[in-house]
Structure 1
Amino acid sequence: MSLINQAIRRHPWKLIEALAERSLAFDRFYVTSPVCMPNRASLMTCRMPSGHGVRFNGIPLSKRNGTFVDLLRDAGYDIALIGKSHQQTFTGIPPVLPRPETRPGLHRANGELSEAVRNDLTSPDDRLEEPSFWAGESPAVPTPFYGVDHFELVTGHGDHLGDHQLLFKGSEQYEQITRVPFIWADPASDRRGRCDRIGQTLDIGATFLERARIEQAWGLQGRDLMAEGSPPDSVLIQCAHQAPMDGIGVRPNVHSLRDARYRISVFEGLQWGELYELETDPAELCNLWDDPGAAAQKARLLERLLRAELAHTETAPALVARA
C-alpha cells in the first residue's frame, strides 16, 4: 500500500491514463446538475433533481428514495463508500433561503403540516455528515447508509479554475462545470478507447445495474451507457441555488439542454437566456439568444428542452389500480 501511495503522489495522472488505456473513456459526459448535492443524489438514485427532491444544496436526500446501491445490496453485494458522500448537509449552517413570514392575522401550521410534502429531514439521522456529529465521541455512521454497508468520509469539491474569469460556481452553465470525465473499466469487456456517446450522472447507476444483471426499480430514469442501438443525442441539466447570484439579481433556477452542437439554458424569472453554438464557439463567448439568425435553432432547442422535461417527469410511485 505504501508503494501505491508513493506512486499516486508522484505520478497521479499516469495511473488514470493507465486505467483509461484499458477502459472506455467518454468524451461527452455531463452532470445532471453542476451543484454538489443534487448531482450526488442523482448519482445514487438515477433520477433528476426534480424527481429525487434535492433541488439545491441544503436538502438531505430523503430515505424515501431508493438508490441503485440499495438494489445492489438487495442482490447480495457488499457495498462500501470511500470519498465524499454529501447526500446530507455537512456545514451545520442555517439556510440562506428563509421561510416566509406569517402575515398578521393568519394562522400557519407547524411541524409536518408546514410543508406541502411531509418529511422529517431535520432528524439526527439526516445530519450524519455535519461537524456536530463527527465531533462526538467515536462517531460512526449507522449502516446501511443509502444502501452502503461501509462508510469512510473524506471531503472534496470542484469549481472553476479561472475559466471566464470565475473561481466559484454560480448560475452559469459553462462546459467547465457541466462536462466531466468518465471512464468505464470492465475487466469482462473488450470495449476500449474513446467514446463520443453522450451520457450523464444518472446513467452511472443504471449501467452498474445492467452489468450486475439487476432490473431497475420503477421510476429510475438512467440509461445503460453500454446498451446497443441508438444512444441519446442530448442531456437535460437542472441547476438551482438558494441565494441570488451577482449579475442576474435572482435566485438561480436554470434548466439546460446540451446536444452535440448547441447548449441552450432557460432562467426562471429572467427574460433572457443563453444559446451557444459550441463547434465555432467552444469557449461559449457569443450568446445567440437574441440573434435573429439563430431564431430557428432557438425554437427547435426550446421544444427539445420541453420534450426532455416531459421525458423526465416523475413516474414513482407505481400505479396500484386503474382508478
Structure 2
Amino acid sequence: MKPNRPVNFLLFITDQHRADHLGAYGNRVVATPHLDKLAAGGWRAGNMHVATPICMPNRASLMTGRYPSTHGARHNGIALSLRSRTFVDMLRLAGWRTGVVGKLHLQNMTDIPPSWPVRAEDRLALEAVTPDTSGRYDQENRRAWLERDDYDLSYPYYGFQQADLVDDHSDQPHGHYRYWLRRNHPEVESLIGFEAAIATPEYELTRIRQAWRTRVPEELYPTAYIADRTIEKLQEYGRGDSPFFLQCSFPDPHHPFTPPGRYWDMYRPEEMELPESFHAGHSPAPHVAWLREQRDSGKAVRNTPAIFACNERETREALALNYGSISNIDHHIGRVLEALEQSGQAENTLVIFTSDHGDYLGDHQLMLKGPIHYRGLTRVPFIWRDGARTTGGSASDALVSTIDIAPSILARAGVQPYNGMQGHDLAAVMSGQAAGVRDALMIEEEGQRVILGFDRRIRCRTLLAENHRLTIYDGAGWGELYDLRHDPHELQNLWDEPQSAQVRARLLEALSREMLSNIDTSPYPTALA
C-alpha cells in the first residue's frame, strides 16, 4: 500500500443475476465461496433493487446515479448520451485511472439505428466533463467488431480511459475478446455458438436455443478472459502513482446458458428444487395468466430473449446451468481477489459486487425477464468491502437502489457529486449510523413492444414501501399490490381487496410523490422568463 494514496475501486458486475443465487444471500445449493467470503468481510444489502430491470437503462443508471426517465436511456436501443456526466468521468477528472474489462452495453449492439438521446445535457457545452467524441453511437455494434480487426471505442468512453470490451452473452461475445481469440487461438473461433456445440438432446432448453454445451475450453471462455485481463490491469495500475477505478463486468450468467467445461454438469437438473411460487395455488395477475395461456395452447415463443412461461423441466435445467455459470464466475472472482492481495493494494482498495438485474428462473412459472416486477427480477446482490474501514459481515434491509452506487463511490473518493444525481450516499447505512436513506423506492420500466395481452407498449411503475410492493400499468384498470412481510413470494394480489383499500391509496399517493420528486430538475434555466 502506497502512503497517503486515495482509495482504489474494484467493481464487479454480473449480468442477469438475482440476489438469492449466492450463498451469502441464503442459497444452500450454488457454490460461491469467494463471494461469500467477500460478503463476510464487508457489508451486504439485503434489499437492493434496480432502477429498472432492463440491461442498458439500468447500467446507465449505475453510471449516472439517475433514473432512466432522467438520463434518457429509457430502454434497450436508446444509447446513453455521450454528453452525460458519469461518476467514472468525475473520478477520471479527479486523478483516478479508469478502466473496464468486460461487458459495457451503454450503446446498442445491433444494426438497428439507435434512438437518439435528447436530454438537457445534449444542449449544453459540457466538453470539460466529457469531450464530444464525434457523436459515435455505434461503438458497441456487434457486426462492426466481428467484421473488422481494428474497430475500437473512442476514449474516454463514458469516463473509461481503457477498455477490454466483451459485449453480448454466452460463448459468443464480440469486442476485444474476439480480437484476442483470433490472434492467439484462431482454431477456437470455429467452436463458438450453438451450431458447434456438443450435442445434449436430454436438455429441453437446447431445443429452443436457450442453452448449449459449448466446446470453448474453460480457460478460453469469456469469463476466464475477463478475469485474466482484470488481473493484468491490477498489476499495471498497482505500479503507478495514481489511484484507480477498475470495473470487471461478466456477461454471464445471462441466457443463453453456456457454462463451459465442468461447470455445465456441476449441478444436475434433477436435483434442483422448483421455486416456492411454481405450483402455488393462486390466481395470477392478468399478464402472467396470458403468458401461461400462450404456453398451454402451444402459442408461446420461447427462442427469443423475451419472457415466456416455462415448464418444470425447463426450470430445473435453467437453475442448474445458471448455478454453473455463477460458480464459474465465483472461481474467477477468487483469482482476481487473490491477485489484488498479492499486489499489496487490498487494504487500500474498495471492492464492490452487484448485478444489473435478475431473472425469474421459474418464479411463477416464468423464465428470463420482462415487465413483471417480482423480486427475483428487481432484487440484486450488492456487497461493499472497504479495505480501510471495517464493516465485516454486516448487512441491512434498508431500501437501496442502483442509483445509490454512483454517489456512494464519489463520496468515498472525496469527489464532489454533480448536479442531477438522484441517488444517495449509503455511508451512514453501511456504518450503522442510519437505518436507511429513504422510506420508499421507485422502479421504472419503459417497454419497447406490445406484449403480454396489453394493447400498447408496456409502461409501468413500482413502489416498494411499508413492506409492500405496488405496481401500476399505463392504460390498465388493474394493478398489483403484495404484502411482502406476510406474502414474500408475491402470491396474493391485494389490489381489489376491500381490506387493502387504505394501504393501496396510501401507496399510490406515495408513488405519485416519488415520481414527482424524481422529475429532472438539472439544469435549471439560467434566467427566469
2:33 matched to 1:14? yes
- Deviations along 1:275-310, whole A, 9 cap, x unmatched? 111111111111111111100000000011011111
Q: Which runs of 5+ in 1 are unaligned?
A: 1-10, 98-111
- Name the larger-Rg structure: 2
Paired residues of 1:41 and 1:52 also in contact (CA < 8 A): yes
Q: What is the distance in 1 between the residues matched to 2:83 and 2:403?
A: 18
Paired residues of 1:35 and 1:240 also in contact (CA < 8 A): no
* TM-score, scaled to structure 2: 0.53
Match of 1:177 in 2: 377
Alignment map for 1:267-306 (pairs within 5 Å):
267-306=473-512
Deviates more, 1:189-198 or 1:46-55: 189-198
Which AA in structure 1 matches 2:523?
P
- Deviations along 1:155-205, whole A, 9 cap, x unmatched? 423532111111121220100010111001111111222222221101001
Q: 1:128 aligns with which of 139, 160, 165?
A: 139
Q: 1:150 aligns with which of 151, 162, 180?
A: 162
Q: 2:391 aligns with which of 191, 194, 206?
A: 191
Q: 2:92 aligns with which of 59, 73, 79?
A: 73
Which AA in structure 2 matches 1:137?
D
SS at 2:399 equivalent: strand
Structure 1 residues 15 and 260: alpha-carbon distance in aligned structure 2, compared to 1, 3 A threshold? farther
Which AA in structure 1 matches 2:106?
Q
Match of 2:68 in 1: 49
Paired residues of 1:254 and 1:268 also in contact (CA < 8 A): yes
2:45 matched to 1:26? yes
Q: What is the distance in 2 between the residues matched to 1:226 and 1:118?
A: 29
Q: What is the distance in 1 between the residues matched to 2:135 and 2:65?
A: 25
Match of 1:244 in 2: 450
SS at 1:37 equivalent: helix
Q: What is the distance in 2 between the residues matched to 1:159 and 1:284?
A: 15
Q: What is the distance in 2 between the residues matched to 1:241 and 1:168?
A: 15
- Deviations along 1:56-82, whole A, 9 cap, x unmatched? 111010112111111111101011112
Match of 2:427 in 1: 226
Structure 1 residues 94 and 63: alpha-carbon distance in aligned structure 2, compared to 1, 3 A threshold? closer
Structure 1 residues 119 and 190: alpha-carbon distance in aligned structure 2, compared to 1, 3 A threshold? closer
Displacement of 1:83 in angstroms is 2.3
Match of 1:317 in 2: 523
Match of 1:7 in 2: none
Displacement of 1:322 in angstroms is 4.6
Which AA in structure 1 matches 2:110?
T
Q: What is the distance in 1 between the residues matched to 2:455 and 2:525?
A: 42
Which AA in structure 2 matches 1:34?
P
Displacement of 1:119 in angstroms is 7.0
Structure 1 residues 217 and 117: alpha-carbon distance in aligned structure 2, compared to 1, 3 A threshold? closer
SS at 2:150 equivalent: coil
Paired residues of 1:171 and 1:245 also in contact (CA < 8 A): no
SS at 1:309 equivalent: helix
Displacement of 1:47 in angstroms is 0.3
Q: What is the distance in 1 between the residues matched to 2:401 and 2:427?
A: 13
Paired residues of 1:45 and 1:202 also in contact (CA < 8 A): yes
Which AA in structure 1 matches 2:410?
L
Which AA in structure 1 matches 2:103?
K
Q: After the TM superposition, which segments of 4 or more aligned residues of structure 1 sit over 3 Å from their partners?
A: 115-120
Q: What is the distance in 1 between the residues matched to 2:32 and 2:419?
A: 39
SS at 1:17 equivalent: helix
Which AA in structure 2 matches 1:85?
L
Paired residues of 1:54 and 1:60 also in contact (CA < 8 A): yes
2:102 matched to 1:83? yes
SS at 1:236 equivalent: strand
How many residues are matched? 294
Q: Which runs of 5+ in 2 are unaligned?
A: 1-29, 124-133, 169-250, 255-357
Match of 1:103 in 2: none
Q: 1:206 aligns with which of 407, 413, 418?
A: 407
Paired residues of 2:84 and 2:121 also in contact (CA < 8 A): no
SS at 2:32 equivalent: helix
Paired residues of 2:71 and 2:119 also in contact (CA < 8 A): no
Q: What is the distance in 1 between the residues matched to 2:376 and 2:144?
A: 34
Q: What is the distance in 2 between the residues matched to 1:152 and 1:315?
A: 35
Paired residues of 1:33 and 1:238 also in contact (CA < 8 A): yes
Displacement of 1:321 in angstroms is 3.2
Q: What is the distance in 2 between the residues matched to 1:289 and 1:181?
A: 29
Paired residues of 1:47 and 1:222 also in contact (CA < 8 A): yes
CA RMSD of aligned residues (A): 2.3
Q: What is the distance in 2 between the residues matched to 1:280 and 1:270?
A: 26
Higher helix fraction: Structure 1 or Structure 2? 2
* TM-score, scaled to structure 1: 0.85
Structure 1 residues 74 and 299: alpha-carbon distance in aligned structure 2, compared to 1, 3 A threshold? same
Which AA in structure 2 matches 1:177?
L
Q: What is the distance in 2 between the residues matched to 1:71 and 1:124?
A: 20
